[in-house]
Chain A
Amino acid sequence: MVIDRIDTVCFRNIKKASLEFSESFNFISGSNAQGKTNLLEAIHFFSLGRSFRTRRYEELVQFGEEYFFLRLRGRSDTGIDIRLEAGYEKGGRIRGSVNGKRLSGIAEIIGIVPSVIFTAQDIEIASGPPGYRRTFLDYTAAQISPLFLSDLKEYRRVIRHRNSLLRRYAGNGDPRGELPAWDEMLVEKGAAIVKGREETLREISSRAARLYGQISPGAEELRLAYSCSFNAPGGDTREALREALENSRENERRRGYTLCGPQYDDILLTLGEAELRKYGSQGRRRLVAVILKLTQALTIMERRAERPVVLLDDIFSELDEETTVRVRKHLTDRYQSFITSPREDDFPEGKEKSARFRVLGGACERVAPI
């Protein structure tokens, strides 16, 4: 996918913008709080039919205004012209259209502009609590297998039902004998989640290691391993989950919620022999987080017939110059990318096709190369 141009009206602090993009690099600079990330948010909006920062559409409307409107023009990899529009008026519903055809729900827009975005908090994938790594893995798994996404939704539903049951009979057992059926369902769906995640990890771990080796030559090998909270490697997932449920029964009844299952699993990231989360430097963690996101992009490109666009929110500030050059080289010719930074000289003019933009107080303009 290549995005040729975007038009926005009253989106966040951007009153009005019409920008034409390069099919390769797009550098967006501007001081903090001027609207750089808002511009990325507008571009990324078409991937999910919502913002990556909030689920509330009201928050996207410019202060003092009543509505926002976004339009994207681009080309699919098969050469088809695409025009996407989305609009929202306070108190109303979000509406979207594809090539002039109204969508019955904005969710139908998902998949047209596949994208990978790296924002400030994504460093948590490398250094934060396990939830960030699970979300990363689940998102990647959903790109590979549509069945995984429905399994995941169903699993979450089972947990919610089961928790509600545990709360209702807190400490008083299970008078109507419902728990065993929900346990069995949890085991069934939980095993499917673990299987999907492990398969995904097998597929992406060598890809991530290769990419890390290219961008950080000579560094220790990056390894990704699934760390199951209730099962030893090689063990039978169903059996192990059944046993874990059995062992935590009393505790669960006292506490009123589910205490075992893949919602407690993690991905173990190691560099050589050292666990990244414990021993990695801030710079290493940041780089690994970027590598994982770029691996996601490679995986989407491999598995889907459409190249994702890559959006990187201020990633170069903590990477050294050589690494920056290698990341740029990796992006060139692979993806259309949108990269923000508070400093213009973060992007010395390279050989690649590029366009530069400056954001100042919500006004966006294309500027001449430096």
Chain B
Amino acid sequence: MNYGLPPLQDLIEYFKKLPGVGEKTARRLGFAILDMDDREVKGFAETLLQIKEKIGFCNRCGNFAEGEICGICSDKSRLEGILCIVERPADLYILEASGQYRGRYHVLHGVLSPLDGVGPDDLNLEKLKSRVDEEGIKELLIATNPSVEGDTTSLYIARMFKDRSIRVTRPARGIPLGSSLEFVDKSTISKALEKREPI
């Protein structure tokens, strides 16, 4: 749609770059910004600029951090000896929200994918090696996604440490809690039945 208002058009195009935002939502957001008072818009714009300026990657684990080291790495109460390996920072926050895991993380920023030209050098793996030595890691919990690429990456990492006495684990897969069998897809049920466990 053409409004004859190029700045608004630009703003709408920017909104459309965000995940889950299509033409209609972008338009609504654009008009909402026009309706906001000047001070608020200014605050919004400054926050956008600051977020890129102030937030970078943690030098140790690759998570987002304000400063050199992220909050989780500098948290002294975290369990020592175990690292949970994830593909992206977003995955880390999902695991954090469960409250189940009390150790630290290591973010790969991707997975092995030869078809996309992504190899081991493109992942945050060198740092992982040195961390395992320096932090006396005894277990690596590899929580990459259960895709061909995620699984292969976990095999690659397991091989990296196969001569060391380190326990390498993957999260179990199966039927989601709180869901009724009738809503679980067939592949997941098949897999869960295959990997059934005694009670």
User: Residues of A at under 8 Å CB distance from B?
Assistant: 145-147, 149-150, 154, 157-158, 160-162, 164-165, 168, 176-178, 180-182, 184-185, 188-189
- Of all A-B residue pairs in the complex, the 6 with the closest CB atoms, nearest first, are A147-B190, A146-B186, A181-B156, A181-B155, A164-B114, A165-B114
19 contacts between A and B (CB under 8 A): A146-B185, A146-B187, A147-B187, A147-B190, A154-B148, A158-B148, A161-B113, A161-B114, A164-B115, A165-B114, A168-B114, A178-B119, A178-B120, A180-B156, A181-B152, A182-B152, A185-B148, A185-B152, A185-B155
Which residues of chain B (143-199) have a CB below 8 Å from chain A? 148-149, 151-153, 155-156, 159, 185-187, 190-191, 194
Also in contact, A150 and B119, with CB within 8 A (given A157-B148, A161-B113, A161-B148): no
Which chain A residues border B186 with CB–CB below 8 Å? 146-147
A176 touches B149 (CB 8 A): no
Residue among B120, B148, B151, B159 with the highest chain A CB neighbour number at 10 A:
B148
Question: What class of interface size applies to chain B in its complex with A?
Answer: 20 to 34
Shortest C-beta distance, A320 to chain B (Å), equals 42
A176 touches B120 (CB 8 A): yes
Shortest C-beta distance, A238 to chain B (Å), equals 14
B115 touches A178 (CB 8 A): no
Which chain B residues border A158 with CB–CB below 8 Å? 148, 152
Which chain B residues border A188 with CB–CB below 8 Å? 151
Shortest C-beta distance, A176 to chain B (Å), equals 5
Shortest C-beta distance, A175 to chain B (Å), equals 9
Name B's interface SS: helix
| 17 new A-B contacts at CB < 8 Å, known A146-B185, A181-B159 | A147-B186, A147-B190, A147-B191, A149-B187, A158-B152, A161-B114, A161-B149, A162-B114, A176-B120, A176-B121, A177-B159, A178-B119, A178-B120, A182-B114, A184-B152, A185-B151, A185-B155
B190 touches A178 (CB 8 A): no
B119 touches A176 (CB 8 A): yes
B121 touches A161 (CB 8 A): no
Chain A, Cβ-Cβ closest to B157: A181
A178 touches B156 (CB 8 A): yes
Which chain A residues border B107 with CB–CB below 8 Å? none
Which chain B residues border A149 with CB–CB below 8 Å? 187
B155 touches A178 (CB 8 A): no
Which chain A residues border B148 with CB–CB below 8 Å? 154, 157-158, 161, 185, 189
Name A's interface SS: helix
Which chain B residues border A162 with CB–CB below 8 Å? 114
- Interface: B83 (CB within 8 A): no
Shortest C-beta distance, B22 to chain A (Å), equals 14
A160 touches B115 (CB 8 A): yes
B120 touches A146 (CB 8 A): no
Which chain A residues border B149 with CB–CB below 8 Å? 161
Which chain B residues border A150 with CB–CB below 8 Å? 187
Q: In whole angstroms, how far apart are the Cα atoms of A147 and B194 in the complex?
A: 10
Q: In whole angstroms, how far apart are the Cα atoms of A180 and B156 in the complex?
A: 8
B115 touches A161 (CB 8 A): yes
Which chain B residues border A182 with CB–CB below 8 Å? 114, 152
Shortest C-beta distance, A127 to chain B (Å), equals 34
A145 touches B156 (CB 8 A): no
Which chain B residues border A185 with CB–CB below 8 Å? 148, 151-152, 155
Chain B, Cβ-Cβ closest to A192: B194
Q: In whole angstroms, how far apart are the Cα atoms of A31 and B185 in the complex?
A: 46
- Interface: B12 (CB within 8 A): no
B159 touches A180 (CB 8 A): yes
Which chain A residues border B153 with CB–CB below 8 Å? 181
A161 touches B187 (CB 8 A): no
